């Protein structure tokens, strides 16, 4: 997306009321998840840009009723709320896949945990830092997540939505798809279609 399109996009979204503005942030950031292409997306609602932290607190129940995906608040304080928007079936597959299970056991997870129990543990580990295993919940390849943790000095082959250490071709295809979904959403908003209308269509 070019500079002129981005400029138009920001003009459009800045004129939204608080609810539409909140939805604009969600549909643009979590578009691939909303479209069921991605397992989950992480969004931090902070105090900048109209105090999204407060707006989220006010409208999150309305968001829940509107979205066809789930959300889980991983961390919340006076400054911000970190929210994971997710497709339950996809996250469940990721945390139950055998190679991912073995990796997650390193951090206290087990194959008998429900998605909710796994997210609760993830949230507890979020209290002190962003836990590296969140990559599994986000759908990143376990090989890349493991390399990032165990080989911090290793040079990655590419940086996109995550640091890629192995299959560049596959990662590029995924990154391009994520970008395509996001840009399509943004272009529709530039044309005057509001986020809530996009979610209903």
Q: Is residue 126 part of a domain?
A: yes
Distant-in-sequence, close-in-space partners of 143: CB < 8 Å, separation ≥ 6: 165, 166, 167
Q: Is residue 200 part of a domain?
A: no
Element (H, E) at 163: strand 163-164
Q: Is residue 14 part of a domain?
A: yes
Number of domains in the chain: 1
Q: What is the pLDDT along the chain (201 residues), one digit of tens a residue?
A: 788 898 999 999 999 999 999 999 999 999 999 999 999 999 999 987 789 999 999 999 999 999 999 999 999 998 999 999 999 999 999 999 999 999 999 999 999 999 999 999 999 999 888 899 999 999 999 999 999 999 878 899 999 999 999 999 999 999 999 999 999 999 999 999 999 999 887
Distant-in-sequence, close-in-space partners of 148: CB < 8 Å, separation ≥ 6: 132, 135, 156, 162, 163, 165
Domain that holds residue 89: 3-193
Q: Is residue 198 part of a domain?
A: no
Q: Is residue 199 part of a domain?
A: no
The two beta strands, 81-86 and 158-159, are unpaired
pTM here?
0.94
């Amino acid at each position: 997306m070019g500079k002129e399109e981005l400029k138009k996009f920001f003009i459009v979204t800045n004129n939204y009321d608080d609810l539409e503005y909140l939805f604009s942030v969600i549909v643009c950031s979590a578009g691939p998840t909303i479209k069921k292409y991605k397992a989950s997306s992480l969004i931090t609602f902070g105090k900048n840009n109209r105090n999204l932290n407060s707006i989220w607190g006010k409208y999150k129940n309305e968001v829940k009723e509107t979205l066809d995906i789930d959300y889980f608040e991983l961390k919340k304080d006076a400054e911000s709320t970190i929210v994971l928007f997710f497709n339950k079936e996809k996250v469940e597959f990721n945390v139950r896949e055998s190679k991912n299970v073995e990796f997650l056991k390193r951090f206290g997870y087990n194959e008998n945990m429900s998605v909710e129990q796994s997210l609760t543990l993830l949230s507890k580990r979020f209290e002190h830092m962003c836990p590296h295993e969140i990559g599994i919940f986000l759908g990143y390849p376990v090989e890349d997540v493991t390399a990032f943790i165990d080989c911090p000095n290793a040079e990655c082959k590419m940086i996109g939505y995550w640091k890629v250490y192995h299959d560049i071709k596959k990662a590029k295809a995924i990154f391009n798809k994520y970008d395509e979904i996001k840009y399509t959403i943004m272009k529709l908003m530039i044309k005057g279609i509001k986020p809530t209308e996009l979610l209903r269509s």
